[in-house]
A and B are shown apart, each in its own frame.
Chain A
Amino acid sequence: MRVEPWLLSLALFSAQAAPTGPELDQRVEALARELRCLVCQNQSLADSSAPLAQDLKALLRRELAAGKSEEAVRQHLVARYGEVLLYKPPLHAGTALLWGAPLALAGLGLALLLRQRRRAGGEPA
C-alpha cells in the first residue's frame, strides 16, 4: 500500500501537536531525565519528588501536551534557570574547553607516546 507523503506528515504532525496518554508520559519522563533537579544533590527531575521538581515536571507535561517540541521546552527552562539545568551541556564558546579538553589531552598523550616510541626505535637495542 502506498501512503501519500503529505498524509503521513499530517499524521506525524498531529501526533506531535497533541500527545496524550502513555506517549505523553514517556516523553515527559525522557525529558525529565535530561534535566537536573536544582534543589537536590545530583538527582534528575525524573528521580526527584522535591516540590520544585514536581512543579517543573508539571510544567514539562503542560508544555509538551500543548504541542511544544522537546527542544522548545528545554529552551523555555534554560532561559529561566540557566544551562546548569542540563546534564549534557551544549557546545558553544563558553563550554568549548569542557568538550575539547579530553580530546586535546588524548592527542597530547598520543603525541608523547609516538615520540617515545620513535626515540626508542632510533636507539640501538
Chain B
Amino acid sequence: MTSPRRSFLWLLPLGLALLLFSLLARALQAGEPRTLARSAPSALLMQPAPALDLPPLDPAATLRPAQLRGQVWVLNVWASWCAPCRTELPALRALGEQARVPLVGLNYKDSAPQGLAWLRQHGNPFQLNLADAQGQVALDWGVVAVPETFVVDAQGRVRFKHSGPLTAEQVQRELLPLIERLRHAG
C-alpha cells in the first residue's frame, strides 16, 4: 500500500514538467526574442571608454575628442544607410537640447559625402561627428548593429548603452536623469 506521502512524490516530476512547459510557452508567446547580443548588457559598463582615434566627418568641426575628457558626453553610432537612425533623430535632438552635454556621432561604415548629405537633409543633432568608414573603432565599442547609444561619465567610463533606436520616452525617463546624476557626481 502506498502512503499519501509517497503519492505526493510521484506528482513532483509532473509538477516540475508543467512548470517548465508553462515558462517555455510564455517565452514563445512573447514573440520573436531580441537577439542575445542586443538584450545583453554591454560588457563595457563601468569600463574605460575605448579611444576615438578617428578623423572628423566634417573637416570644419571644432570640437576634438580630447576635449571630451572630464565631462559627461553621449556617443551615438549611426549611418546614412540605417533607417532606424532616422527614426530616433527627434529623440536624439531632444536629448542634445535638454541634457546640454556634447553629443558625438560615430558615423559607421559610411562614406563622408553620404553621411554629410544625410545630416544636411535631416538636420544635424551632433556637436562632432567622427568617420569610422571601416567600422574598426565600432568593434572596440562592441557595436553589434546601428543605432547604438552610449553615455560616458566625467571619469571616462561607459555608464550606459542602448541598442536600437532611442525613444522620446526613454530619453525623458532614463537618459536625462542619468546624465543629470552623472554631472553632479563628476
Contacts and interface: CB of A to CB of B under 8 A. Distances in A.
A80 B43 contact: yes
B170 interface: no
A82 interface: yes
Interface residues of A, number: 19
A41 interface: yes
Label chain B's interface by main secondary structure.
loop
B139 A78 contact: no
Query: Which bucket holds chain B's interface residue count?
Result: 20 to 34
Interface stretch (B52-60, B84-92, B140-148): B140-148
A80 B142 contact: yes
Contact of B40 (A51, A56, A84, A112): A84
Interface of B: 9, 35-37, 40-44, 47, 50, 109, 135-136, 139-142, 144-145
20 contacts: A36-B36, A36-B37, A38-B37, A38-B144, A39-B145, A40-B35, A51-B109, A51-B135, A55-B136, A55-B139, A56-B139, A78-B43, A79-B43, A80-B50, A81-B43, A82-B40, A82-B42, A83-B43, A84-B37, A112-B9
